[in-house]
Amino acid sequence: MGAGKTSAARAAAAALGARAVDSDHLLVERLGCSIEEYFASHGERAFRAAEEDVVAELLERPPSPVLSLGGGAIASERVRGLLERHTVVLLDVDEETAWRRAGGRRPLARDRSRFGALLAERAPLYATLADVVLPDSSRDVVRRAVPAMRSLAQAPAGTRLLWATAASGEYPVFVGDGLLGSGFRAVAGDAHVVTDETVGAIYGRAIDAASTVTIPPGETAKTLATAQTVLEALAEAGLDHDGHVLALGGGVVGDLAGFCAAVYQRGVRVVQVPTTLVAQVDSAYGGKTGVDLPQGKNYAGAFHQPTAVVADPTALATLPPEELAAGWAEVIKTALIAGGPLWKRVRSRAARPDRDLVLACARTKLAVVAADERDAGARQSLNLGHTVGHAIETVTGYARYRHGEAVGLGLLAALTLSAQPALREEVAGLLAEHGLPTRLDPAVDPADVVAATARDKKRRGGRVGFVLVEAPGDVRTHVAVSPDDLRAAVAELERS
Ligand SMILES: NC(=O)c1ccc[n+]([C@@H]2O[C@H](COP(=O)([O-])OP(=O)(O)OC[C@H]3O[C@@H](n4cnc5c(N)ncnc54)[C@H](O)[C@@H]3O)[C@@H](O)[C@H]2O)c1
């Protein structure tokens, strides 16, 4: 309700040269009265039965129109079964917007809290059915997303498409088992692959590459010196603005290759093909690219949105267990930010590193980035656990802890600072179950960590703002923390 389905369907139909049909409009014609009147005289059950017949007729009879479906139609098993043969597009609107548009105007949108409960109840069903998720979209966004929707036909069955938007650009995110090696191409033109030695050896042949440059694996390669090697290799290979960089690997490759793409000839396109859990649930999206300096993590970089992201969760099968564990830290962070069904799944231990988990995390991150690409406000929430996490990485020379491991410790420090002992304990339990450290190496001096947080590149006006948690799904950004409290939170990491 209130998602803008009718106008989105018209925009998609115009781009496809197809017919647009609104099931509610057709239903009103058939019923001979308004939905409201029919609800009042016959009740919801009779309405749903009539709706099911009309929708089934439309879904069964080719040629298919672009159909905008009443929000409750998917409650019918028959309709859900028929939808399997079609491409289902979910328009992702928040409750506030939906209520503003539909509140008071539909039989099931009379009462604000019932309306919210209904949306929350339907959300998991929508997420399961949707082949494509578009953010609350103008007609232009829908029109521009149509080619990517069409390209789903070339992707392995079960591939899902998220449409990412940010102030500086929009791009498709494809998540599907078997995408790597399927021959699927999200972007035309020559692909100049940047990968690391480990990933290149396993997946290099899955890509039809115009050239390949291979860097050593791991965080210690995320430097300006490596970037120079990559930039020179791209120039030698003749990359120009018709081609693109293809980042094949984890967050290190993604950040470094994205940075090279941002500065090479003042910016060429980059396609992110993430192969670690960290990269598939987090780093491949949002356009932050960069390299480390000895003085600080990610100290040189640029915002450069990808042209497309292609994530194949089956690639996680070859990931060493400790790298998979590092990814769980980002999953737990994302679940704490999202709250709701994602947090429920993660805390119940029901989450697996599969397509649906990657999709849920990507949706959370993309929604935050859509609201604030450049880290002015809401995006800071993604930094949860990272202020102390980055400081731990910096003082240990990027060699003692994986990024995800340091973020896990940072999450615990953030929960101490949030005065959430019970949640801290629960998160520590989750981290430990995934094989992540919950205790800081005693060789690390808390004073050094505190000093390094003061150099965090997100400090403003001489102050580092922390991200703290009120409850899962409710995080506060830019919170001031006293040096004593910070020292105590880091010191607690050595005890816990
Ligand atoms: N840009 C962002 O928004 C963002 C967000 C989070 C993290 N990051 C960055 O990401 C980096 C960490 O990324 P990471 O954890 O992916 O580390 P990584 O890129 O170093 O990969 C970890 C290791 O796994 C190997 N590997 C990768 N994919 C594999 C596969 N499928 N099978 C077998 N081995 C594989 C790599 O060779 C490497 O040795 C950090 O530099 C961090 O700052 C960036």
Tell me how many degrees the CA angle 410-415-417 measures, rounded to the nearest 5: 95
C-alpha 458 to ligand 1 mean position (Å):
22
How many other C-beta atoms lie within 10 A of the C-beta of residue 315? 26
**pLDDT confidence of residue 270:** 98
Find the range with the poorest average confidence among 142-156, 196-210, 443-457: 443-457
Check pocket membership of 318 for ligand 1, CB cut-off 6 A. Answer: yes
Instruction: Please provide the average confidence, as pLDDT, over all residues in the chain.
Output: 92
C-alpha 386 to ligand 1 mean position (Å):
15
Q: pLDDT-derived band of residue 308, with 50, 70 and 90 as boundaries?
A: very high
**pLDDT confidence of residue 28:** 93
Contact (CB, 8 A) for 148 and 172: yes
- Phi-psi group of 386: left, alpha or beta (phi > 0 → left; psi -120 to 50 → alpha; rest → beta): alpha
**pLDDT confidence of residue 374:** 79
How many other C-beta atoms lie within 10 A of the C-beta of residue 205? 10
Which residues share a beta bridge with 175? 160, 311
Check pocket membership of 304 for ligand 1, CB cut-off 6 A. Answer: no
**Position 460 pLDDT exceeds 70:** no
- Closest atom of ligand 1 to 292 CA is 41
**pLDDT confidence of residue 471:** 96
- Closest atom of ligand 1 to 196 CA is 37
- Closest atom of ligand 1 to 390 CA is 43
**pLDDT confidence of residue 457:** 64
**pLDDT confidence of residue 461:** 66
**pLDDT confidence of residue 19:** 92
Check pocket membership of 218 for ligand 1, CB cut-off 6 A. Answer: yes
User: 232: which 2 tokens?
Assistant: 């020179």
- Closest atom of ligand 1 to 285 CA is 3
Whole-number Cα distances in Å, 88 to 19, 70, 160: 16, 13, 10
pLDDT (average), residues 1-23: 90
**pLDDT confidence of residue 296:** 81
Check pocket membership of 282 for ligand 1, CB cut-off 6 A. Answer: yes
Contact (CB, 8 A) for 287 and 306: yes
Percent of the chain topping pLDDT 70: 98
Contact (CB, 8 A) for 135 and 92: yes
Q: What is the pLDDT of residues 327-371, one digit of tens each?
A: 999 999 999 999 999 999 999 988 899 999 999 999 999 999 888
Q: pLDDT-derived band of residue 118, with 50, 70 and 90 as boundaries?
A: confident
Instruction: Give the rounded distance of the alpha carbon of 377 from its chain centre.
Output: 18
Q: pTM for this one? A: 0.93
**pLDDT confidence of residue 176:** 98
Percent of the chain topping pLDDT 90: 76
**Position 446 pLDDT exceeds 70:** yes
**pLDDT confidence of residue 70:** 84
Check pocket membership of 250 for ligand 1, CB cut-off 6 A. Answer: yes
Q: pLDDT-derived band of residue 458, with 50, 70 and 90 as boundaries?
A: low
Q: pLDDT-derived band of residue 94, with 50, 70 and 90 as boundaries?
A: confident
Task: Please give the Cα distance from 90 to 5 (Å, whole number).
Answer: 9
**Position 180 pLDDT exceeds 70:** yes
Check pocket membership of 404 for ligand 1, CB cut-off 6 A. Answer: yes
C-alpha 33 to ligand 1 mean position (Å):
58
Residue from 252, 318, 382 to probe ligand 1 pocket by mutation (most atoms less than 8 Å from CB): 252
Find the range with the poorest average confidence among 312-321, 409-418, 429-438, 452-461: 452-461
Contact (CB, 8 A) for 322 and 288: no
**pLDDT confidence of residue 459:** 66
Q: What is the pLDDT of residues 35-86, one digit of tens each?
A: 889 988 999 899 999 999 999 999 998 777 899 998 889 999 999 999 999 9
- Which residue has a Cα nearest atom 41 of ligand 1? 252
Contact (CB, 8 A) for 267 and 243: no
Strands 466-471 and 474-479, bridge-based pairing: antiparallel
**Position 10 pLDDT exceeds 90:** yes
Q: What is the SS3 string spanning the chain?
A: CCCCHHHHHHHHHHHHCCCEEEHHHHHHHHHCCCHHHHHHHHHHHHHHHHHHHHHHHHHHCCCCCEEECCCCHHHCHHHHHHHCCCCCEEEECCHHHHHHHHCCCCCCCCCHHHHHHHHHHHHHHHHHHCCEEEECCCHHHHHHHHHHHHHHHHCCCCCEEEEEEECCEEEEEEECCCCCCCCCCCCCCCEEEEEEHHHHHHHHHHCCCCEEEEECCCHHHCCHHHHHHHHHHHHHCCCCCCCEEEEEECHHHHHHHHHHHHHHHHCCEEEEEECCHHHHHHHCCCCEEEEEECCEEEEEEEECCCCEEEECHHHHHHCCHHHHHHHHHHHHHHHHHHCHHHHHHHHCCCCCCCHHHHHHHHHHHHHHHHHCCCCCCHHHHHHCCHHHHHHHHHHCCCCCCCHHHHHHHHHHHHHHHCCCHHHHHHHHHHHHHCCCCCCCCCCCCHHHHHHHHCCCCCCECCECCEEEEEECCEEEEEECCCHHHHHHHHHHHHHC
Check pocket membership of 214 for ligand 1, CB cut-off 6 A. Answer: no
Task: Please give the Cα distance from 39 to 331 (Å, whole number).
Answer: 43
**pLDDT confidence of residue 462:** 63
